[in-house]
Amino acid sequence: GQSLEQPSEVTAVEGAIVQINCTYQTSGFYGLSWYQQHDGGAPTFLSYNGLDGLEETGRFSSFLSRSDSYGYLLLQELQMKDSASYFCAVEGQLTFGSGTQLTVLP
Amino acid sequence: KAGVTQTPRYLIKTRGQQVTLSCSPISGHRSVSWYQQTPGQGLQFLFEYFSETQRNKGNFPGRFSGRQFSNSRSEMNVSTLELGDSALYLCASSLGTGTSYEQYFGPGTRLTVT
């Protein structure tokens, strides 16, 4: 089967940097995606890693190591609006992690 | 371009009934996926349709079914509803099926089973 592990909660202060890790076990792997979901809202796409390495999109970066079955989402210069749930997802099997609730404190 | 739309947004049903949810993808998108989201289980994949064909299916009982029409609109049906089916049902559309295609989610249908 497929499974993804990510921390359930992370707390950080405004302006800080936070890293959300994701480890996965899948029978077929094509890439790792990250989604953001605010309370009451729909998930929105943040980034995708199909190859090893770092992808940068503004304040957000995502990293993948296929040999370690591991990836992370890095959020820099945290803002209050970044408080949300973050999900990693294995696209080949359309499997999502259980989500990490990020709380940004003033 | 209009986003993914889902109808109805809220629904209350009783145990044993059946329900049909509808999803209209972004124009030009041919893949539609359905997910169940609950506080304890996160996002659980139900199924994916591409060009009217079911491409992938998650680990849900046969009471959950779906279909896709030639205009890419999709419906999901749940028969013999159980209390545990209460959840937010999300659909997502993408240009294609597989790896790097970004999914665009609709606002979801909140189903409550009493």
pLDDT single digits (tens) B78-109: 999 999 999 999 999 998 776 557 889 999 99
- pLDDT category at B33 given cuts 50, 70, 90 is very high
Write the single-letter amino acid at B95.
L
Mutate to test the interface with A, among B34, B49, B50, B102 (most CBs of A within 10 A): B102
SS3 assignment, position B102: coil
Most confident among A45-54, A92-101, B80-89 (mean pLDDT):
B80-89
Which of B:1-60 have CB within 8 Å of A? 4, 33, 35, 41-45, 48, 56, 58
Cross-chain residue pair A33–B106, CB shorter than 8 Å: no
Q: What is the 3-state secondary structure (H, E, C) of chain A?
A: CCEEECCCEEEEECCCCEEEEEEEECCCCCCEEEEEECCCCCCEEEEEECCCEEEEECCEEEEEECCCCEEEEEECCCCHHHCEEEEEEECCCCEECCCEEEEEEC
Mutate to test the interface with B, among A36, A49, A86, A94 (most CBs of B within 10 A): A94
pLDDT at A92 over 80: no
Q: How many CB atoms lie within 10 A of CB A11?
A: 12
Contacting residues of A for B104, CB less than 8 Å apart: 45
Residue A27 token pair: 């029978």
Angstroms from B84 CA to nearest CA on chain A: 18
| The pLDDT value given to residue B99 | 52
B23 against A48, higher pLDDT? B23
pLDDT at A1 over 70: no
Average pLDDT of the segment spanning B60-72? 96
Question: Which of B56, B101, B108 is facing A42, going by the closest CB pair?
Answer: B108
The answer to whether residue A3 neighbours chain B at the CB level (below 8 Å) is no
- pLDDT category at B54 given cuts 50, 70, 90 is very high
Question: Which of B42, B101, B102 is facing A96, going by the closest CB pair?
Answer: B42
Contacting residues of A for B45, CB less than 8 Å apart: 93-96
CB B76 within 8 Å of CB B18? no
